[in-house]
Amino acid sequence: MAKVLIFLAPGYEEIEMLSVVDLLRRKRIAIDMVSITDTPEVTSSHNVTVKADVLFKDADFDEAEMLVLPGGMPGTTNLLAYEPLTEKLKAFAAEGKALAAICAAPSVLGALNILQGKKATCYPGFEDKLTDADYVKQSVVVDGNIITSRGAGTALEFAAAIVEHFSGSEEAKDVLKRIIYQE
């Protein structure tokens, strides 16, 4: 039933992953954390272990409307190396379904030729891996069905862009207001 699936590979960046999960759940947008390993417990690049909601083999891709890739190293490399995921990413792109990636993870979309003719951003130093994309130096870039972002420091903006995709700009502004401002 999850509208959004976010993938946990060993070495993911926890801020980039958990910010998305947190903001979407605050807005009641269904999201599942999906382990690409054999176990639900996946350890981040900073040695934080999170228990995923579901293993990859049990994820409901038919109901999903968006796939999200957090960055981090070696998380990004592990995402790209996991062929069942790369096949799903290519299928979603071919169907025009939404994809989102942050930090080094847009390089996965680049390696799969999903960014052709799209504007995209990424962590500094990964620009050359955005194959055939128009690199834009912005915190978050939305181009059609693709959302990309630069890194941990832009994780809340990235998550808000995903909220906006599903619920509109007012809901995205509202969730940021609620977590940032004290009124």
Cβ neighbours for 183, distance < 8 A, ≥ 6 positions apart: none
Q: What is the dihedral of CA 99, 100, 105, 108, to 10 degrees?
A: 10
Asked if residue 67 lies in contact with residue 101, where contact means CB atoms within 8 angstroms, the answer is no
CB distance 141 to 119 below 8 Å = yes
For the chain, percent helix, then strand, then coil, each to nearest 5?
Answer: 40, 20, 40
Which of 17, 103, 133, 159 does the annotation list as catalytic? 103
122 annotated active-site: no
Whole-number Å distance between alpha carbons of 73 and 127:
16
Q: If we measure between CA atoms, which residue out of 19, 27, 111 comes closest to residue 68?
A: 19
CA–CA separation, 161 and 102 (whole Å): 12
> Could you give the 3-state DSSP secondary structure of residue 117?
coil
Residues that are catalytic: 103
